[in-house]
Structure 1
Amino acid sequence: MEIIRMFLKFGIVGASGVIVNLSVFSVLTYVFDVTNTVLTASIAFLFAVTNNFIWNFLWTFRDKGINKTIKEKYMNFMIISSINFIINLIFLEIFIRVFSNVSFLKDHLKFSKVLAQFFAIGIATIFNFLGNYFITFKDKKIEGDSNE
């Protein structure tokens, strides 16, 4: 079934985005010692969403939304991704609070933030796929000529 094949491709692209996201998030957290979680998550998001748009445009949804411009697709992708980013931030905060109460994670605050980000990304993935499948890469309806 086509939607399952696309979801699997979307998942593979998403996995590459998770790697990009967690890499940027981790470098900012560990190497540059940025303590503002919203800032690090935001920067990581921008890198990951650009990666994901490129690969979803070229591979996952290659033949979809052909009557839309790349700019239209990118804008829709960014809007949907931004909504999912808000979902991600909400769950990131929830998981950070939960993990801060887990005994073996209490002494590893930086690691627990990265782990929380991983789970928050997972939750937002389903919403992200559905939004992009039904909006970003869906063909525009072309109104037929009423004189025919």
Structure 2
Amino acid sequence: MLIKFAVVGLSGVGVNMVVYMYLIALSANYMVAAGCSFGIAVTSNFVWNVLWTFKGRAEDKSISKKYASFFVISIMNLGVNLLVLQFLVEYVQAGKTLAQLVSIALVSGLNFLLNYQITFGERRCKQEKGAPVSYEANSYTNLQ
């Protein structure tokens, strides 16, 4: 699953960088370009993660709930990405393209862990509606 996530992530990096460099070539501010390229890449990544990487996981969640979770996690990662990007460009004097690649690489591990656990996380105790509750699953059992 991690390898699939990495493949999807690399394709997302490609999408991100193509959009980012295109916007930079149009004289867009590098921070605006990073935000726009993020929006396109995150949607592409979500689609591929649902269809391939995490196929069949978290079936109890609607697609819109998964996307909302994926997007919120991605926004948090974008915040970290932008901080690193700005630091590398303005203080380290790194090139904008290299700085963006480094920034993406740094947030990728956190992105996988959060999406694996939250967006595509499985319930630990799957129980059908109407089924009897086991002793271990019933937290309201009164032991006397």
TM-score between both structures, scaled by the size of structure 1: 0.82
- Are residue 27 (structure 1) and residue 10 (structure 2) matched? no
CA-atom RMSD in angstroms: 1.7
Partner of 1:56: 49
Match of 2:30 among 37, 41, 51: 37
CA 1:19–1:143 in structure 2 vs 1: closer, same or farther (change >3 Å)? Answer: same
Whole-angstrom distance in 1 between the partners of 2:15 and 2:117:
25
Whole-angstrom distance in 2 between the partners of 1:18 and 1:70:
23
Count of residue pairs brought into register by the alignment: 131
3-state SS, counterpart of residue 122 of structure 2: coil
Whether the 8 Å CA contact 1:68–1:139 is kept in 2: the answer is: no
Whole-angstrom distance in 1 between the partners of 2:133 and 2:110:
40
Displacement after TM superposition at 1:147 (Å): 5.1
Partner of 2:90: 97
More helix by share: 1
Whole-angstrom distance in 1 between the partners of 2:91 and 2:15:
25
3-state SS, counterpart of residue 55 of structure 2: coil
Match of 2:13 among 18, 33, 53: 18
Displacement after TM superposition at 1:99 (Å): 4.4
Displacement after TM superposition at 1:146 (Å): 5.7
In structure 1, the gaps of 5 or more residues are 1-5, 106-111
Q: Which runs of 4+ in 1 moved over 3 A?
A: 140-148
Letter aligned with residue 118 of structure 2? I
Whole-angstrom distance in 2 between the partners of 1:147 and 1:20:
48
1:1-148 matches, cutoff 5 A: 6-30=1-25, 32-34=26-28, 36-100=29-93, 112-140=95-123, 142=126
TM-score between both structures, scaled by the size of structure 2: 0.84
Partner of 1:3: none
Whole-angstrom distance in 1 between the partners of 2:102 and 2:133:
54
Q: Percent identity?
A: 38
Whole-angstrom distance in 2 between the partners of 1:48 and 1:10:
14
CA 1:147–1:116 in structure 2 vs 1: closer, same or farther (change >3 Å)? Answer: closer
Displacement after TM superposition at 1:37 (Å): 2.0
